[in-house]
Structure 1
Amino acid sequence: MFHKLNSLRFQIVRTQFQTIYFSLLVIACVLFFTYSVIHPSWLTLEAIFFSILLICLLMTPVAMYVSFHYAGQVKERMDGISVLITQLAKGKYGARIINQDYKSSGDEIDYIADDLNQLAEKMEKQVKSLQRMADEKNDFAQEAHKVATMEERQRLARDLHDAVSQQLFALTMMSQATVKLLDKKPEKAKEQMKEVAQMALQAQTEMRALLLHLRPVHLSGESLQTGIAKLIEELKQRCSIDFQVNLDDTLHLSKATEEQLFRMVQEILSNILRHAQASHVLLELKQREESVTLYIRDDGKGFNVSEKTENQASYGLKTLNERAGELGGSFIIRSKEGEGTYSTIRIPL
């Protein structure tokens, strides 16, 4: 109730009434002054009070109609500006304020609307420019594929040494120690065998994630939906995670956009395999209004996003942000310890 009374429409109505009744007060003061000082024969107290009452009865409904009508026009124009700002915030850079949608008065509000239209046009051009640069970058990336492959092999070799190789070495040492304890301390040997099994499972998970990185980065002429479907089928055969996949087959994206989105899917799924310890993963690809949305959720152990942001390389956040930004889009990740992780990528069409 109080919010409505403080709205722009009621502020204009109050201003109109304040002006009218202030003017009425001035008229009353002039009449009473004339009656008291000059004493004209035609001016009486009854005439003064009757005139004031008559003006009140006539001007109140007129002022109410005029002020509400004018306030409605102003509110309609301001609503148009508010809707445009909301659409721009959602990535609808093709939205515009059309003068036919409301009565144009050639005042400051129209100037603001024109400035917002120009801003929306510039933002739309910038997004198209970013996407065009992404296409060009994709061409350069294909030409440099051999160099990138060599660097990727070196990185994988380091990961194998830092993670899997060390875990296998630890497995070897623990298994040898366990064999020696089988006869002397069978209970201790049993506990160590559980640790060996856990380390073996972790090494297997690390290897699956590294194998995921070994898959082709490019779609090789396939659509994004086909590439994701094949990737998920391959993962289903290698791990026990339950995947739920919803892909919009009607989406038609540029080649560069599909390549970047596919690489981001690989990166996120690899992180889930290596860190999340999840049993269920939901992946959705759909068009929402004027943007394409990629949503991936897991029920893993989660993590503290604010702490990970300080060391983005450990979870690939920096790379994912950069890939989304190159397409004029956004990458949002939400997570909490013990409650899984939610990743959302939005790219404007």
Structure 2
Amino acid sequence: MIVQRILKNTKWELLLYFLLTGSLTAVALYVGSIFGAVHVIDPRVWIYIIAGILVFILIIGYIAGQRIQRRLDYLHLNMLQVAKGNLAVRMPDTADQTFSGVYQEFNNMTEAVEKKMKLLQQFGEREVVEKEQAAEKAVLEERRRLARDLHDTVSQQLFAIHMAASSLPKVLEMNEAQAQTVLDQLIQMSNMAQKQMRALIAQLRPMELVGKTLAEALDQWFPDYCRQNGLRGMKDMDLQGDLSEAKEHQLFLIVQEAMANIVKHSGAKLVSLSLREGPRQVVLSISDDGQGFSNGAQKQGSYGLTTMKERAEKLGGNVEIISKPGAGTTIRVHIPKFEEE
């Protein structure tokens, strides 16, 4: 088992080859001395010769293995950076012919991925903008529908309440029992009007980003949402202000979806929101101190998590979910940025 683990590491595998080579060299010298090809006067000298050969070979093998492993580790680190959404990573030129081809292929691959992601992001932003335009038309139609509903329901209920209330004094003078019936009808109609009004109000959704930047909207919305839901919120934002409208819109919706999941399922008391914009990517992180969940188990709120991933993927980004039962949850979103041509 130990040998198998060693062989899985390039550095130790190379060191093992050097050690094997040194051992074969020592054996060859010893066999040569037996057949007279090598003359050693004192047999005890063989101990020092073999030990010296093995130590020398181990030192050379370790240095060679370390150099190769360092380059492989650097390549692996840059691959992880690309996987996190930092598509600006490039491998430097090297005189080593063994790695120069690999580094060049990595750079070509990353450049191709960056171009495709940029194109994907442009399509995603265009789709978001087109959906927003369609949504504006839908809002106007919805307002007309709400106006009709208000006229057909609440407005008529209020008119009926007014008529009944106006006739109540006269009915009370003429027939007290009949007045009680009218009063009961008033209570019933007012309750019905109240329910209908609440139902119509519940259909309205405020447009938090209208006329505001993402930072301004979160400055207002995040503390209010935490206060209304009994959460203690911490916010850290570093935005340069050059995000496109589509990116701001999708990031704001992801924040809303994540906070709704926290309120519904986590049982958290503390929420931390971090939003940082770098030259080549935007990183959003939302952490809570709730109950968490196991990644392998069926999770509550999985629909919300899927929605967040879809929103990020529309812009060429990705969502990383880190959670453990009893240790809270962290949602980290990486959205790449591309230089304008």
TM bucket by the smaller chain?
0.5 to 0.7
Partner of 2:96: 105
Counterparts of 2:298 and 2:53, CA distance in 1: 65
Cα distance in structure 2, aligned partners of 1:137 and 1:113? 36
Judge conservation of contact 1:281–1:296 (CA < 8 Å) in 2.
no
Aligned to 2:183: none
Does residue 228 of the first structure (1) align with residue 222 of the second (2)?
A: no
Shift of 1:8: 3.5
CA distance in 2, matches of 1:67, 1:128: 44
Q: Which runs of 5+ in 2 are unaligned?
A: 147-194
Within 1, Cα distance between the matches of 2:65 and 2:325?
51
Quick one: structure 1 residues 299 and 82, their matched pair in 2 at CA, closer, same or farther if it must change by over 3 Å?
A: closer
Is residue 301–residue 339 contact of structure 1 (8 Å, CA) maintained in 2?
yes
Query: Distance between the aligned counterparts of 1:66 and 1:303, measured in 2?
Result: 49
State the SS of the aligned residue for 1:131: helix
Q: Matched residue of 1:345: which SS?
A: strand
1:91-127 alpha-carbon deviations (Å, 9 max, x no partner):
2221122134xxx3312x4433332222222222233
Distance in 1 separating the partners of 2:127 and 2:14: 54
1:8 alignment partner, one of 3, 10, 14: 10
Task: Report the alpha carbon displacement of residue 78 of structure 1 after superposing the two structures with TM.
Answer: 1.6
Instruction: Give the whole-Å Cα distance in 1 for the aligned partners of 2:143 and 2:126.
Output: 25
Map 1:183-262 → 2, pairs under 5 A? 210=202, 214-216=205-207, 219-232=209-222, 234-235=224-225, 239=228, 241-252=230-241, 253-262=243-252
C-alpha deviations, 1:44-85, integer Å up to 9, x for none? 965595996786477456534533332232122222222222
Contact 1:331–1:344 (8 Å) recurs in 2? yes
Aligned-pair CA distance for 1:257: 0.8
2: distance between equivalents of 1:89 and 1:21?
43
Deviation by residue 1:114-149 (Cα, 9 ceiling, x = unmatched): 322222222222332222223322332233223443
Q: CA RMSD in A?
A: 4.5
Q: Give the Å deviation of 1:272.
A: 5.2
Deviation at 1:226?
A: 0.5
- Cα 1:65/1:84, change in 2 over 3 Å: same
CA distance in 2, matches of 1:346, 1:247: 16
* Cα distance in 2 for residues equivalent to 1:64 and 1:336: 43
Q: Which residue of 2 aligns with 1:124?
A: 114
- Matched residue type, 1:73: R
Task: Find the counterpart in structure 2 of residue 284 from structure 1.
Answer: 273
8 Å contact from structure 2 (residues 226, 233) kept in 1: no
> Which residue is 2:84 aligned to?
90
Q: Percent identity?
A: 24
- How much has 1:284 moved relative to structure 2? 1.0
State the alpha-carbon separation in 2 of the partners of residues 244 and 208 from structure 1.
31
Code of the residue aligned with 1:143 in structure 2: it is Q
**1:327 paired to 2:321:** no
Mapped to 2, the partners of 1:60 and 1:271 lie a distance apart of 61
Instruction: Label 1:78 to 1:144 Cα distance change in 2 as closer, same or farther (>3 A).
Output: same
Instruction: Output the amino acid matched with 1:285.
Output: S
Aligned position for 2:187: none
Give the distance between the partners of 2:138 and 2:261, measured in 1 at CA.
Answer: 20
- Contact 2:317–2:333 under 8 Å retained in 1: yes
Whether the 8 Å contact between 1:264 and 1:320 is mirrored in structure 2 is: yes
* Distance in 2 (alpha carbons) for counterparts of 1:93 and 1:220: 31
- TM (norm. structure 1) is 0.62
In the alignment, structure 1 segments of 5+ residues that lack a partner are: 36-42, 157-202
Post-superposition shift, 1:261?
A: 0.9
Contact preservation (8 Å) 2:23, 2:54: no
Amino acid at match of 1:69: I
Is the Cα contact below 8 Å between 1:283 and 1:294 reproduced in 2?
no
Q: How does 1:174-189 map to 2 (within 5 A)?
A: none
The equivalent residue for 1:348 is 336
Name the counterpart of 1:32. 34
Say if 1:16 and 1:151 are closer, same or farther in 2 by CA, change over 3 A: farther
